[in-house]
Structure 1
Amino acid sequence: MKIEQIYTGCIAHAAYYVENKGEAAIFDPLREVQPYIDRAKKDNAKIKYVFETHFHADFVSGHLDLAQKEGAKIVYGPTAKPGFDALVAEDNQLFKVGDYTIRVLHTPGHTLESTTYLLIDENGKEHGIISGDTLFIGDVGRPDLAQHVIADLTQDKLARMLFHSLRNKIMPLSDDLIVYPNHGAGSACGKMMSKETTDTLGNQKKTNYALRPDMTEDEFVNELLNGLTTPPVYFPKNVLMNIQGYESLDTIMHRGKIALSLDDFEKLSANKDILLLDTRRAEDFAKGFIPNSLNIGLESNFAMWVGELIDNIKQKILLITYPGKVEESIIRLSRVGYDYAIGYLEGGFDAWLNANKKIELINRITAQELSHEIQNNNKLLIDVRKKSEFNAEHVIDAINIPLNEISKRLNEFPKDKPFVLNCAGGYRSIIAASILKQNGFSNFSDVVGGFSEIKITSIPTTEFVCPSTLL
C-alpha cells in the first residue's frame, strides 16, 4: 500500500500521504500545504480528501487551505462540529481513494470526535491504522485537553471513553497492522511516547502500558492520568482555530513578509503593543541584540516556546532574523496560530548594528567560572529547566524557576545581588535572559553550555532517585 509519513521533528508531528490510481488523501496536514500539493503533483494525482483524526490542540491544521486550493473534501469523525464546510462521517463509513478503502473507526477518548482510520488495500487486506492521538507508539493520547474547551468533558470521562475505544475498536484488530500515529517523542499530547514513529499493533499490544489486556477500567484511568503535566497554554487557542477556521497562510505570509527600513522598523518598535521577536541562535543573540526583543531561536522547539511564552495569540510581531529565514519564521509561527507578524527588519540585526544603534548584551560565563564563583561568592544559581529535569539532577542549592513560569515569578529573581541562569544546553536560559532584560534585570550571567557543561565540572550536584529504581 502506498502510504508516506511526512514527519516534522521540531513539533514531533506526523502527517500522512496516501495515493492510488491518481487519487490522494492527506491525513492531519500542517498549516503549510504546498509540500502536500507538490507531492501529489509528483504522482500526477488529485487530492480528493483531507482526513482529520480530531481537532488538534498542538498545531493549526492545513485542512482549510488544502480544501480551497485543491477542492479536497475535509472529513472528520462522528460528533465533530466544524465551523466550515466539512463531511462529518459516521462510524464505519467507507471512503475510496483509488482502489484503496478508508474505514472510519470512531475512537473517542483523547477528544470526543477522535477517530482512527483503517487503511485497506486494493485486495481488501487491512494494512494499518492512522490513529491520530488515540494510540501513540508506547502511549495513548492524554484525555485532559478537551475540558479546556468544553468544561463538561472531564478528563475522567474521556479517559473512560478511551479505555473502551482501545479495547472495542483497536485491540481486536490484527497484530500485523501498522500503527501510524500523529505524534512522536517530544509532543505534549502524551507523556511517554517512543522515539519510534511507527510500529506493528501486535508489538504495541505487548509493550504499550495502556493496552495491557488484564487492566481494569479504573486501573487504566489511574495510570493514564497519573503524571500528567499542565498542558501548554496555547493548546485551547489552537483547538478553537481548528474548529472555527482561520485566515489562509497566503494572507499571513503577505502580511508578514514586509521588509522594513531601519527607520520604519524603529518607529513601529516604539509601540509597546508590538513584540520584537529575534529568531537567531542563542549564542548570537547573547553577543548583541536590539533592546526589548525576545529571543526564541529557530534551531529548537521554536513553535512550542512561542505558544508557551507569548500570551496573546493575536500579538503583532516584528521579526529580526538571519538573512533568508523570514519565511521560515512566519511559517513556524503560523503552525501554532501566531498569524500577526507584520514585517521584518531588512538586513536583520547587522543593519541595526551597522547604524550604531543601541544594543544590549548578555554576560555569559563558563561552567568552570561558575564553579569558582560558587566556591568563593556563594553565588545564586537559578535553573530554568522543567521541574522534572531539575528533580532528576541539579546543582546543590540551585533554585528552580521553569522557563514557562518566569513571567509570573519575576518577584523571585533578586535585584540586589547577582545571580546566574542555566538550562540544559543554553537555548532556554537565553530565552529567559531576554525576558529578564525586558523587565529591567541586568544583574545576571548565563552559563555557556548549561547543565551539560556543569555536570563535567567539579560543581556538586544532587540527584533525585525514584524509589522504583531501587526494586
Structure 2
Amino acid sequence: MNIKQFEYKPLSHYSYAIISEGKMAVIDPERNPQQYYDFAKENNAEIVAVFETHPHADFVSSHLQIHQETGATLYNSEKLGADYPHETFDEGNSFQLGNVTLKAINTPGHSPDSITIAATHGKETVLFTGDTLFIGDVGRPDLREKAGNMQAKREELAEMMFETLAHKFTSFSDEAVVYPAHGAGSLCGKNLSEAASSTLGEERKFNWAFKKQTKEDFMETLLEGQPIIPAYFGFNVGINKAGAENLQTSLEKIPFRENAFAEGLIVDTRAEDIFKKGHLKGSINIQASSDTAKFETWLGAIIKPNEAFTLVVDNKNDSEKILHRIAKIGYETQVKEVITIPKSELVSSDKLNVEDFKNHLENYTIVDIRNQTEIDGGSLFENALAHPLSELKDSAAEIPTDKPIVVHCAGGYRSAAGSSILETIFPNATVYDLSEAVEQFKK
C-alpha cells in the first residue's frame, strides 16, 4: 500500500490517500482538495473513491467537490443520512482498490455514524479510525446532542464508545497500524498524543481507553474535563452532511477593497502589535499572522455561524491565504468583504504598565479568558473573574468597569482577541491586554 498522510496543523487534522494499482482513495479530506489532486498526478493515479468516517464537526470536507471534479464515488455510513450522491459503507461492505481491500467497521462513540476503515493487503493492515480511536485517547462523545442526522446524548455515545473499544478491534493483531483523523491540539478529544500514528498493540498497552475497567469508570473518565465546543461545530456537521460548495467558486464571490472603512462586526487578522497601534473602532483581533496559530478555532468560537463580518487583512497578498483558512470551517460565506484599512482616523489600544499592575493588583479588574478546564486547574491571580473567550461576547456584561480591566490567557494569543472584544463592548472603559507578560506571573 502506498499511503500518504496529510496534516493541517492549525486544526490538528490528518487526512489520507491510498494508492494501489493506479487507483487512489481519499479519506477524510480537508476543504481544499488540490493536494490530493497533486499526489494523484505525481503517482499517475486516478482518484476513484472518497471515504468519510463521519460528518466532521471541526472542519469542512471537500468530498463533494472531489466527486464533482473527478467522478470519484463517495462512501459513508448509512446512519450519516448524507444529502449528497453516495454509496453506503457499513459493516459487511467492502471496496477493492487495486490490490487493497477496504472494509467498513461501525465504531460509534464519537458520533452515532462513525466508521473505521480497515485496509488490508496481504498480512498488512491499516486502520483509519477517524475520530473514534486517537493516539492515546478516544473521540469525545458530546458533540452530537444538537447536530447531525442522528443525534445522541453524550451519555449514550460514551456507552457506545465503551462497547466499540471492547468489541470492534478484537479481531485485529497488535501489528495493525492506527491512523487517526486528529492529533494533539484537536478539540475532538482531550489528551491526544503528539504522535501521528501508532499500532493497535501500542494503543492496547498505553491508551487509557483499552485498560480493563468498568463501563461506569470508562464513561466517567471520558465525559469529564472535555474542552470547549466552539459555536461552529454543529454548523460544520450540517455542511458536511450536505456537502460543501466548490471552494474557489465560494471564494470568488467575496469583494475586496483597499484603504477602506467598515462598520458592524469586524474581524482584524493582523498581528497584535500592529492592531494595537491602529485599527477600526469595534474590531476584534483574531490573529492569522502565524501559519500554525489556532485562527480557525477561535474565529469559529468567537463568531457565531451566519454572523456576517468584514475581514481586515494587512495587505492584498494576505487575502487569499486567510480566506482559504476561513473556508476550512465554512465561514467564507459570512465574509461581507475583505479590506485593508487606511493609516489615519484609526483607534489605538491602551498599553499596560506591567510594573504598576504587578505592584497594585487591587487597582485592576482581572479577567481570565482561558478555557474552563484551564481555569479549573488553578488561577494565576486571586480574585480574577473567569470569562472563557468562547463565551466572552455573551458574558461580558457581568464584568464591572469601575477599575481598569486587564485581560489574560495562558500565553497571549487569546488575550489579544479578548481585550479587543471588551474594548468594543465597553468603549468608555480602560481595557488592557496582559499579552505575553502573563509569563511573569506563572509560578
Is TM-score (shorter-chain normalized) higher than 0.5? yes
Q: Distance in 1 between matches of 2:216 and 2:405?
A: 47
**Alignment correspondent of 2:337:** 343
Question: Counterpart of 2:323?
Answer: 330
The corresponding residue for 1:285 is 275
Q: Secondary structure at the match of 2:439?
A: helix
Change (3 A) 1:313 1:125: farther
Alignment of 1:9-408 (within 5 A): 9-121=9-121, 124-149=122-147, 153-212=152-211, 214-256=212-254, 258-262=255-259, 265-266=260-261, 269-270=262-263, 272=264, 275-298=265-288, 299=290, 300-313=293-306, 315-340=308-333, 341-345=335-339, 348-349=340-341, 352-353=342-343, 356=344, 358-365=345-352, 367-374=354-361, 378-390=363-375, 391-408=377-394
Matches of 1:64 and 1:398 in 2, distance apart? 47
Would the alpha carbon gap of residues 291 and 207 (structure 1) be closer, same or farther in structure 2, given more than 3 Å must change? same
Match status 1:423 vs 2:422: no
Equivalent residue of 2:31, what SS? coil
Shift of 1:323: 4.3
Classify 1:216/1:413 alpha carbon distance in 2 versus 1 (closer, same or farther; 3 Å). Answer: closer
Q: Which amino acid aligns with 2:256?
A: A
Residues in 1 aligned to 2:108 and 2:305: alpha-carbon distance in whole angstroms: 30
Distance 1:75-1:314 versus aligned 2 partners, 3 A rule: farther
Return the alpha-carbon distance in structure 1 between the equivalents of residues 125 and 91 of structure 2.
Answer: 19
Runs of 5+ consecutive residues of structure 1 not aligned to the other structure: 456-460, 462-471
Offset of residue 367 of structure 1: 4.0
| Alpha-carbon distance in 2 for matches of 1:202, 1:389 | 32
What does residue 430 of structure 2 align with? 443
Instruction: Give distance in 2, aligned partners of 1:398 and 1:199.
Output: 41
Residues 168 and 13 (structure 1), Cα distance of their counterparts in 2 relative to 1, 3 Å cut: same
Amino acid at match of 1:132: G
Question: What is the TM-score when the length of structure 2 is the normalising length?
Answer: 0.93
CA distance in 1, matches of 2:372, 2:159: 29
Q: State, as a whole percentage, how many aligned pairs show the same letter.
A: 33
Aligned equivalents of 1:208 and 1:402: distance in 2? 30
Query: Is the Cα–Cα contact under 8 Å of residues 104 and 118 in structure 1 kept in the other structure?
Result: yes
Aligned partners of 1:280 and 1:322 also within 8 Å? no
Alpha-carbon distance in 2 for matches of 1:445, 1:156: 41
3-state SS of the aligned residue for 1:238? Answer: helix
The answer to whether the 8 A contact 2:365-2:406 is kept is yes
Runs of 4+ in structure 1 deviating by more than 6 angstroms, as ranges, are: none
Residues 127 and 367 of structure 1: CA distance in aligned 2, closer, same or farther (over 3 Å)? farther
Partner SS state of residue 25, structure 1 = strand
1:184 match: secondary structure: coil
Unaligned runs of 5+ in 2: none
Letter in 2 for 1:387: Q
SS in 1 for 2:168: helix
Cα distance, 1:207 vs structure 2: 0.8
1:176-231 CA-partner distances (Å, limit 9, x unpaired): 1111001111111112111212111101001111111x223233222212223452
Give distance in 1, aligned partners of 2:55 and 2:247.
18
Cα distance in 2 between the residues matched to 1:152 and 1:421: 37
The code of the aligned residue for 1:389 comes to E
Q: Is the 8 A contact 1:314 1:338 kept in 2?
A: no
- In 1, distance between residues paired with 2:191 and 2:414? 22
Q: Using the alignment, how far apart are the partners of 1:412 and 1:135 within structure 2? A: 40
Partner Cα distance (1:43, 1:8) in 2: 22
Q: Evaluate the alpha carbon distance shift between residue 281 and residue 89 of structure 1 in structure 2; reply closer, same or farther with a 3 A threshold.
A: same
Give per-residue Cα distances to partners, 1:394-448, cap 9 Å, x unaligned. Answer: 1233222211121122223232321212222221111012111222334122224
Residue in structure 2 matched with residue 8 of structure 1 by the alignment: 8
Distance 1:399 1:306, change over 3 A: same
* CA distance in structure 2 between the aligned counterparts of 1:327 and 1:453, rounded to whole angstroms: 37
Partner Cα distance (1:161, 1:25) in 2: 28
Indicate conservation of the 8 Å contact 1:210/1:220, yes or no: yes
Distance change (3 Å), C-alpha of 1:261 and 1:285: closer
**Aligned-pair distance for 1:99?**
1.5
Q: Distance in 1 between matches of 2:440 and 2:155?
A: 42
Distance 2:43 2:278 in 1: 48
Give me the TM-score of the superposition, normalised by structure 1. 0.88
Whole-angstrom distance in 1 between the partners of 2:151 and 2:144? 9
Deviations 1:262-292 (A, max 9, x none): 4xx43xx24x3xx322111122211211222
8 A Cα contact 2:26 2:50, kept in partner: yes
- CA distance in 2 between counterparts of 1:158 and 1:19 reads 33
- Distance apart, 1:454 and its partner CA: 2.7
Is contact 2:109–2:161 with CA below 8 Å preserved after alignment? yes
**CA–CA separation in structure 1 for the residues paired with 2:27 and 2:256:** 35
Q: Distance in 2 between matches of 1:431 and 1:93?
A: 47
1:135-170 per-residue CA deviation (whole Å, 9 max, x = no partner) reads: 001111112212212686222222222222222221
